[in-house]
């Protein structure tokens, strides 16, 4: 007879348009598993475990399917970093919660820092002899996780950016006025999202004329020279810039303005486009329009990529499958099998190869001038924004599901 254990799944870090699809995929596999009895969601990431705030997902089965068409993190999120010292009280508390609720499976759905949490918990479990299977489930719009061909969340964010840029092109070409349109795209250290803007095509030509990524040191003087040269050729110019562009010293371009850090020590970015707008208006053109979609890049489920939604679902599903086979200490990653047609599979990658590492946009995919990308990069990204998704509607608007924050009874004292 199979000894049943319970399962916890949590979400952490910045949300995406498809992050909930991974939870749904994991849930669908878990409900069919003989070895899993209760399926819990930790509210607000690892903090939900520390606080013993666990949601019984089976009691809300009626809303689970609809979550894959719902933006943001249905289970809430956090940016809480576990200490490197395993003697820290957090570890004892987490595993006391695991033991109190008979947890034998733990899944952490997130990015680089989330994989660090999963890795530390797996190492602690193995050192302490606690029998639990821990698997990381990838997500991030930045596409910067090592060990996976692409990250669930990236394709949909790229699709939103390209859709917005294309629509802006139609708007700008309505007039014959000399115009520069500047779009600022998310991307702290990697330029995948900004690079993806090259997929937007208007009248047979790419919409962006210039693309600036964090992987290439940004020089304001060089930038102005390149814009002036392009502006001689075209009366309407489109520029895409990553929020994380850096200067020649490797510092964020507006480092003096970025005084605040998040809990992981990362600078809070944003505002590059507004600064460059002033520079361009002063030196090149008085008509400079700025688009800064901000958080819309990561929560536009109405613009979701079918490929992205499919991948997000199956990395969650297969993560549980791999855990049931006895694997622990891995991330469920995407392996590209072919480009045309686009085919992929889910494989395991050790968490040590993922945690706290960033996958940069390949320099060989950047043109020598440092202001655009190559055809190889475009071919890599094309299939990731494809596929239609018909989301349910209610009174003309998307129908989104919400999990009730009803926690199971606590068995331990409150966490301080």
Catalytic positions, written as ranges = 142
Dihedral over Cα of 114, 117, 120, 125: its sign:
negative
* Separation CA 376–CA 374 (nearest Å): 5
Residue 17: CB partners within 8 Å, gap ≥ 6?
71, 153, 156, 157, 160, 298, 299, 300, 301, 303, 304, 308
The residue assigned the tokens 């508390």 is 93
Segment holding 319, helix H or strand E: helix 306-324
Alpha helix positions (H), 208-271? 220-233
**Inter-residue contact 16 to 158 (CB < 8 Å):** no
User: In the chain, what's the furthest Cα-to-Cα distance?
Assistant: 76
**Inter-residue contact 9 to 39 (CB < 8 Å):** yes
* Separation CA 157–CA 397 (nearest Å): 20
CA-CA-CA-CA dihedral for 349, 352, 357, 361, to nearest 10: -20
Residue 326: exposed, middle, or buried by beta-carbon count in 10 A (0-12, 13-18, 19+)?
exposed
**Inter-residue contact 15 to 72 (CB < 8 Å):** yes
């Amino acid at each position: 007879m199979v000894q049943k254990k319970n399962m916890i799944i949590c979400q952490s870090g910045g949300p995406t348009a498809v992050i909930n699809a991974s939870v749904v995929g994991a849930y669908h596999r878990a409900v069919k598993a003989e070895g899993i009895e209760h399926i819990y969601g930790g509210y607000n990431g690892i903090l939900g475990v520390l606080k013993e705030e666990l949601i019984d997902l089976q009691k809300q089965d009626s809303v689970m399917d609809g979550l894959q068409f719902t933006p943001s993190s249905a289970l809430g999120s956090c940016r809480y970093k576990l200490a490197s010292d395993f003697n820290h009280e957090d570890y004892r508390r987490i595993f006391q919660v695991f033991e109190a609720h008979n947890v034998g499976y733990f899944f952490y759905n997130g990015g680089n820092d989330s994989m660090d949490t999963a890795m530390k918990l797996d190492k602690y479990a193995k050192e302490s002899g606690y029998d639990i299977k821990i698997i990381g489930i990838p997500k991030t719009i930045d596409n910067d996780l090592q060990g996976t061909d692409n990250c669930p969340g990236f394709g949909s964010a790229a699709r939103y950016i390209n859709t917005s840029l294309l629509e802006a092109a139609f708007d700008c070409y309505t007039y014959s006025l000399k115009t520069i349109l500047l779009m600022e795209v998310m991307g702290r250290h990697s330029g995948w999202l900004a690079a993806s803007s090259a997929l937007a095509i208007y009248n047979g030509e790419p919409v962006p004329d210039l693309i600036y990524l964090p992987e290439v040191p940004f020089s304001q003087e060089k930038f102005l020279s390149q814009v002036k040269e392009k502006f001689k050729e075209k009366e309407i110019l489109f520029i895409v810039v990553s929020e994380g562009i850096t200067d020649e010293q490797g510092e964020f371009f507006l480092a003096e303005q970025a005084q605040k850090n998040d809990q992981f020590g990362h600078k809070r970015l944003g505002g590059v486009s507004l600064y460059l707008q002033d520079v361009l208006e002063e030196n090149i053109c008085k008509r400079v329009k700025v688009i800064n979609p901000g958080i819309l890049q990561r929560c536009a489920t109405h613009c979701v990529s079918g490929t992205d939604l499919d991948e997000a679902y199956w990395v969650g599903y297969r993560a549980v499958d791999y855990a049931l086979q006895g694997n622990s200490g891995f991330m469920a990653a995407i392996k590209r099998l072919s480009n045309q047609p686009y085919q992929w599979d889910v494989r395991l990658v050790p968490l040590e190869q993922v945690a706290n590492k960033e996958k940069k946009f390949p320099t060989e995919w950047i043109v020598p001038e440092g202001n655009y990308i190559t055809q190889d990069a475009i071919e890599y990204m094309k299939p990731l924004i494809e596929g239609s998704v018909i989301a349910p509607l209610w009174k003309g608007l998307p129908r989104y599901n919400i999990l009730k924050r009803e926690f199971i009874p606590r068995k331990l004292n409150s966490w301080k």
